[in-house]
Each structure stands twice: as C-alpha cells, then as structure tokens.
Structure 1
C-alpha cells in the first residue's frame, strides 16, 4: 500500500508545497496566514509553504494577488515516483550505463597502446 493511500484511509489531510517568489523579502512573515513556512531563502528571494491539498488553488490565487509576491508555483515534489520498483530500475540503468562507459574507456586505452 502506498503512503498516499494510507493517509487517505486514516482521514489525514494531505498537504502540498508551493513555491512563492518574492519581490520584497521583508514581507515573508505575512505568508504565515496562507500556510506553514518550511523554508525561506533570503538570498534567492523565495519561500516554500505547505498548504492543505483541498485549499491549494484558492491560496495560490490569493498569493498571486499580493503586491510583494512575484510569482507562485506548485512544487513538483508530489509527482516524484518513490516506489521501490522505480528506484531499483534507475539504479540498474545507472549501473549499466557506468559499465558501458568503463568498457568504452578501456577499449580506447587499448587502441592507443
């Protein structure tokens, strides 16, 4: 059973992250009204908020209307496939690619000698 299915079975509200790019970083604390601030970069001028999944569209519209907000994006984090089958396939593909490159390098060095 996946984590998402387990959470919905237990009636736990799912939360998604959104990235808010700011024109003025001094107003970052005003974002607390819209969600939980989990990360803030003063240097790059962005903030990551966690928002309830069922409220995300409304919160994104409200944030876009603020004068100190440059733009708002939905995080791609929830689209990452973390299943063990997918991860194992990636590891095998990386290992096969590394082995192929190693063989090519050995063949090139043998040709030079």
Structure 2
C-alpha cells in the first residue's frame, strides 16, 4: 500500500512530486507559490516540489509557461514497487548472480594457475 492510498483513506489530499528544471539556481525561490519545495540541486539545476495530485497536470502547464523554467515533469516515485516480497526476490536474484560470477572468476583463476 502506498502512502497516497493511506492518506486518501484518512481524508488527506494525495500529493505527488514534480521535478522542475530551472535556467538559474536563484530561480528556485520563485517556485514557492506552486508547492512545497522539498529538494533543490544547485549543481544540476532542478527542484523537487510537492503538489496536490489532482492539480499536478495543471501545475506542470503553468510552470512550463514561466520563462525561468526549462522543463517540468511528474516524478516516477509512484511507479516504484516497494512491496517487501518483490524487494526480497530482487535481492535473491542479485545474490545468485553475484555468486555465479564469483564461481566463474574462481574457475578462471584456477585455469590460469
């Protein structure tokens, strides 16, 4: 279950993250009226802001009309599967692949000796 599902069940507005790429780093402060700024990268020139999920598409349209915004897009965090069984399966697969690679390296070293 996602956080947004739990929020919606308890009567809170669902939120989503928008990634906003800026022309200059000083323009980040001008985004305050659009949502809650939760992260800013001065080096890469982007901001992550949270907005109500129902208003996200409208906010993207508004942001892209601004001269100091290069691009605005929705974050894909909603698409990340955080189910524990899925994560455990991924870890098991990665461990098996690592063990197979180590075994292959050991065989190659044994042949060289």
Q: Runs of 5+ in structure 1 lacking a partner?
A: none
Q: Which residue of 1 aligns with 2:43?
A: 43
Deviations 1:21-43 (A, max 9, x none): 11132222110111000111222
Equivalent in the alignment of 2:73? 73
Question: Hey, what does 2:53 align to over in structure 1?
Answer: 53
The match for 1:87 is 87
Q: Which stretch shifts more, 52-61 or 39-48?
A: 39-48
1:43-69 deviation digits (Å, cap 9, x = unpaired)? 221111001101100000000000110
- TM-score normalised per structure 2: 0.92
Q: TM-score, normalised by structure 1?
A: 0.92
Partner of 1:26: 26
Aligned length: 112
User: How far apart are residue 6 of structure 1 and its match?
Assistant: 2.5
Secondary structure in 1 matching 2:67? coil
How far 1:13 sits from its partner (Å)? 1.4
Range 86-95 or range 7-16, more displaced: 7-16
* Alpha-carbon distance in structure 2 between the residues aligned to 1:6 and 1:72: 27
1:9 offset after TM fit, Å?
1.5
2:98 match: 98
Gaps of 5+ in 2: none
